[in-house]
Amino acid sequence: MVPNQYQAIELQRFADSFKAGTEIVTKPLPSPGDNDVVVRNLYCGINGIFDTQITKNAVDYVKVSLPTLTGVEALGVVEAVGDKVSGLAVGDHVVTTRFPSGYRQWNIGDASNFIKVKDGNPHWLVLASTGVSAYVALTQVGQIKAGETVAISAAAGGLGHLLIQIAKSFGCHVIAICGGDKKGELARQLGADDVINYREVSVRDYLCTHYKDKLDIAFDTVSGPIHDAFLDNLAVHGRLIVAGAAEDLDGKPELVTRPRIAHKLYYKGASVRSFMNGLLTEYWPNARDVLFSMYEKGELNVVMDDPQFEGLEGVYQGVERLISGQSMGKVMVKLDQQ
């Protein structure tokens, strides 16, 4: 039965941490309008770094007006539909992948915001959100080509573990940069050809020794010395993709005074490109189709972090787990505890 209210995590004030800026609140759940669907969320994906940045009001392309609900992606089951909705019916499983859809027990909105998936398997959610990011970044921004050499930071993470496999599906040579041996093992299992555990080995020294000027794509979500080592080892026409800066999460990025990077790029015809998935929505449907098909054919593995958390309180645990740097694969929360 559809209740007339539900709980969600609301951002109420800008703050330095997701926990400090948010509260669990009760919201009314109205009856659906003609074009609306009402969805009981089963799982949500955690994006602890994005959540922290949103809480600091530091995501340039999202205009946050307080209060606002939080979270990006969720998978749920349709429990009611408006009179004019076609293509979705009660009992269908759907995913949503746009802020603020994730950290709420129930969702209501225009049917066009919900994408039908086969069943309640949370892997569809990982593919439709983080998977789409990985695919769009490599194909549209990275313009990946068969046989290229691709280095990936945070390679055992939610985004990274999918980047490895997608790059391998293009026949690329993949170098995984990870913090720790367990993460390195996972990266190798997923197909990485080489692993650099930056806690034990200098990424700069390793790349300069084994991949001097050989990186066709360097995919970075960490920044700091990894970004610098990538930039120094780009191949002719190499692309350094900036898709995050986890190291700068404390809001105090290292001040860098060096010659302008133009000198490192110019003679190589190389480039630094930013990837921002929310600005590339036109590529999402195709990316979903490709990834769903690869998954169904057994060509793509989804790894979910262990432990899994439950309920809205579990979202806080998930965010902490992700920003602790200990998680491997995608951090998910089971929202529906029935």
Ligand X SMILES: NC(=O)c1ccc[n+]([C@@H]2O[C@H](COP(=O)([O-])OP(=O)(O)OC[C@H]3O[C@@H](n4cnc5c(N)ncnc54)[C@H](OP(=O)(O)O)[C@@H]3O)[C@@H](O)[C@H]2O)c1
> Which residues of this chain interact with ligand X, rule CB under 6 A?
47, 49-50, 130, 133, 154, 156-160, 178-179, 183, 221-222, 243-244, 246-247, 249, 275-277, 322-323, 325, 327
Whose CA is closest to 318, among 300, 306, 303?
306
Could you give the count of Cα atoms lying within 13 Å of 105 in the half-sphere of its Cβ? 20
Q: Smallest distance from the beta carbon of 223 to ligand X, in angstroms?
A: 8
User: What is the three-class DSSP state of 6?
Assistant: strand
Q: How many residues does the chain have?
A: 338
Q: How far apart are CA 266 and CA 263, in angstroms?
A: 6
Least distance to ligand X, CB of residue 250, Å: 8
Q: What SS3 class is residue 97?
A: coil
Cβ proximity to ligand X: between 50 and 135 the closer is 50
Nearest residue to ligand X, by Cβ distance, number only = 157
At closest approach, how far in Å is the CB of 315 from ligand X? Answer: 14
Q: Whose Cβ is closer to ligand X: residue 70's or residue 133's? A: 133
Q: Are strands 5-11 and 68-69 parallel, antiparallel or unpaired?
A: antiparallel
Q: How many CB atoms lie within 10 A of CB 268?
A: 13
Q: Judge whether 178 and 195 are in contact, CB under 8 Å.
A: yes
123 and 329 in contact (C-beta within 8 Å)?
no
Q: How many CA atoms lie within 13 A of 136 on its CB side?
A: 24
Query: Which CB, 26 or 271, lies closer to ligand X?
Result: 271
Q: Report the nearest approach of ligand X to the CB of residue 78 (Å).
A: 26
| Closer Cβ to ligand X, 178 or 291, answer by number | 178
Q: Kindly tell me which of 32 and 48 has the beta carbon lying closer to ligand X.
A: 48
Other residues' Cβ atoms within 10 Å of the Cβ of residue 119: 10
What are the backbone dihedrals phi and psi of residue 237, each rounded to the nearest 5 degrees, phi first? Answer: 65, 20
The least CB distance from residue 91 to ligand X, in Å, is 30
Q: State the Rg of the chain over Cα.
A: 20
**Residue number with CB closer to ligand X (216 or 320):** 320
Nearer to ligand X, 221 or 233 (CB): 221
Name the DSSP letter for residue 129.
I
CB of 141 to ligand X, least distance (A): 9
CA distances from 260 to 32, 254, 265, 266 (A): 55, 16, 10, 11
Where is 274: in which H helix or E strand?
A: strand 271-274
- Closer residue to ligand X, CB minimum distance, 168 or 330: 330
CB atoms within 10 A of CB 277: 23
Least Å distance, CB 312 to ligand X, is 19
- Shortest Å, Cβ 335 to ligand X: 18
Q: How far is the CB of 217 from ligand X (least distance, A)?
A: 15
Residue with Cβ nearer ligand X (20 or 236): 20
